[in-house]
Amino acid sequence: MLVGRDAPKDDLVIRGARAIDPVERIDETIDVRIDEGVISEIGLRLDANGHRVIEAEGLVLAPAFVDPHVHLRTPGREDEEDLASGTRAAAAGGYCAILAMPNTDPVVDSAAVLGALVERARTEAEVPIGFLAAITRKQEGGELTEMIELAEAGAVGFTDDGKPVEAPALLRRALQYLSAVRRRLAVHCEEQTLSRGGHMHEGAVSAELGFGGYPSIAESLMVARDLGIAAYENQPLHLLHLSARESVDELRSAQAAGVQATGEVTPHHLCGTDEDIRTLDSNLKMNPPLRAEEDRRALVDALRDGTIVAVATDHAPHARHEKEVPFEAAPFGVTGLETAFSVLYTRLVAPGVIKLETLLERMGPGPARIYDLEPPRIAKHASANLVLLDLETTWRPTETSFHSKSANSWLLGETLRGRVALTVADGRVAFEG
C-alpha cells in the first residue's frame, strides 16, 4: 500500500517530448494529456483543453522512478530526514514512489508504529511512500513481528535491513509465515563474524590504507545461505543492495534453478570502487562497501542482463557532524535520491555501457514488480507517474543543492550530465526543476 498526501490531481498536456517506455515499447515524439491525474490521451498535436501545457521539446518523457530502498529516518532522527524532506528529495530525483526501510527508532515492528507513519504520510508525503516493516521485533533477530497485522496495516514488505537475519531457522519461519501474507521478504546479506571490524572492501586498497577489511565472502556466503532457504521453502526472496560478483553469481544460478529471487543494486556500487576510498572521504563509507572493479563490472552486467532487476539508492541520510570525522569513526551510508538518475546516465548510459531504455526499466517498472506494485507506465488510463528528463544539461551537486535534509552525497562537486526537469507522481506535479 502506497500512501501519499491527499491533494487534488493535476490536468496537464506534455507536448513534444521523446516518450520512452521500455515496457510499453514506446519510443517516439508524442504528446501526452493528463486529466485529473490519469493519462487520458497519447497522440500527436493534442489539444490543450484548457489544461496547463508543458512544452517539452528536446526532453525525454519516461515512466517515473520507483526507489525500493530509502531510509527516511522517521521516527527518531527527523533532524536527518523526515517524510516531507525525503519525498521532496525523491520528487527531485524523478521518483513517483519510494519504499521506506523500517530500521528507525523505534523500529517499525508493530501496527501502532506503522499506523502513525501512514497517518503522517497522508499529510506530508510529496510522493507516495510504501513502508516496509521489520521481520523481527526491534530487528533483534529473536521473535517474528506480527506480520499479518502489519500487512493489513499497510506494510508493503518485510525486512531487517541494516542487519542480517542471523539464525537460518528464523529466516525459514519468516518465509513460511509470509506465504500466508503474500508480501515480499527482503534480506540484508552480511555474515557479521566475517564483516566485523570492516570499514571498506577487503583487498589491495584496504591492505595499503590499513583499514579493517569487509570481505566479499561476508556477503556472498549469506546470499548463498538465504537463497538456499528460499529454494527449500519455494518462496520468493529479494536481496538488498548487492555488492560482490560472487553474490551476483549465486543469484544468477539460483534464478536458473527456478528460485523466485530478485536483486537490487545501488548507483554507488555501479559506479564506484574501493580505489575511490584513497581520498578517505567519509561520504564514500557505506554498507556494503564499494568493492573492486571486477565486482563493479559484474554488477553492471547483471543489471544489463536482468539478473538484477532494480536500481535502489539505499538513500541513507546522516547529520553533517556524524560524517565530519575520520573515515574510521564515520557511520555507514550515503544519500542518493537526487543524484541516482544523473550519475547513472553520466557514467553508464552516456558512455554507451548500458542503454537508456534498460536504465529506465530498472529504475521504474523493475523495482515496482519486486513488491507487486503497479508499475509506472506511459499508457492510456494509467495513473500519471511520469518524469521529464533533460539529457543535455550538466550540473554539480553541492552541499546546498539538495532537498534532502542531509548532504552526505558521494558526488559533491562532481559534474553530472542529465537532470530531472519535472516529476509527476500519482497524478500530481511533485517537482519542477
The grid cell for 217 is 565472502
Among 45, 321, 381, 400, binds another protein (CB under 8 A): 321
CA distance 414 to 153: 42
For another protein, the binding residue among 31, 67, 80, 202 (CB under 8 A) is 202
- 47 vs 324, beta carbon nearer another protein: 324
Work out which of 22, 162, 203, 289 binds another protein, going by CB under 8 A: 203
Counting contacts by CB under 8 A, is residue 352 touching another protein? no
Q: Which amino acid is at 100?
A: A
CB 338 within 8 A of CB 404: yes
Q: How many residues bind another protein (CB under 8 A)?
A: 28
Q: Under a CB-based contact definition with an 8 Å cutoff, are residues 315 and 86 in contact?
A: yes
Q: Is 294 in the site for another protein (CB under 8 A)?
A: no
Burial, 234: exposed, middle or buried (Cβ in 10 Å; 0-12, 13-18, 19+)? Answer: exposed
Min separation Cβ 327 and another protein, Å:
4
- CB-CB contact of 36 with 7 (8 Å): no
Residues 404-423 that bind another protein (CB under 8 A): 413
Instruction: Determine, following the binding rule CB under 8 A, whether residue 293 of this chain makes contact with another protein.
Output: no
The yes or no reply on residue 335 touching another protein (CB under 8 A) is no
From candidates 102, 213, 317, 376, binder to another protein by CB under 8 A: 213
Pick out residues in 223-282 that bind another protein (CB under 8 A): 279-282
Asked whether position 341 contacts another protein by CB under 8 A, the answer is: no
| Residue 207 binding another protein, by CB under 8 A | yes
Task: Give the binding range for another protein (CB under 8 A) out of 142-150, 175-183, 203-211, 417-425.
Answer: 203-211
CB burial string 235-270: b at 16+ within 10 A, e below: bbbbbbbbbbbbbbbbbbebbeeebebbbbbbbbbb
Residue with smaller CB distance to another protein, 25 or 193: 193
Grid-cell match 521478504, residue found: 185
197 is a site residue for another protein (CB under 8 A) = yes
Provide the minimum distance between the beta carbon of 210 and another protein in the complex, in angstroms, as a whole number.
3
Q: Is 119 in the site for another protein (CB under 8 A)?
A: no
Q: Which of residues 372-411 bind another protein (CB under 8 A)?
A: none
Q: DSSP letter for 276, please.
A: G
- Min dist. Cβ of residue 325 to another protein (A): 6
At 56, the amino acid letter reads A
What would the grid cell of residue 46 be? 493534442
Which pairing describes strands 129-133 and 157-159: parallel, antiparallel, or unpaired? Answer: parallel
Element housing 256 (H / E):
helix 245-256
Task: Answer yes or no: 67 catalytic.
Answer: no
Of the pair 197, 351, the CB lying nearest another protein is at: 197
- For residues 226 and 251, give the distance between their C-alpha atoms in angstroms, rounded to a whole number: 10
Return the number of the residue (55 or 328) whose C-beta is nearest another protein.
328
Q: Which of 314, 372, 390, 426 is catalytic?
A: 314
Residue 86 binding another protein, by CB under 8 A = no
Strands (E), 26-174: 26-35, 38-43, 52-55, 60-63, 65-70, 95-100, 129-133, 157-159
Contact call for residue 325 and another protein (CB under 8 A): yes
Q: Which is nearer to another protein, 213 or 427 (CB)?
A: 213
Is 341 within 8 Å of 65 (Cβ atoms)?
A: yes
Residues that bind another protein (CB under 8 A): 196-197, 199, 202-213, 215, 279-282, 321, 324-329, 413
What are the residue numbers of the active site?
Answer: 314
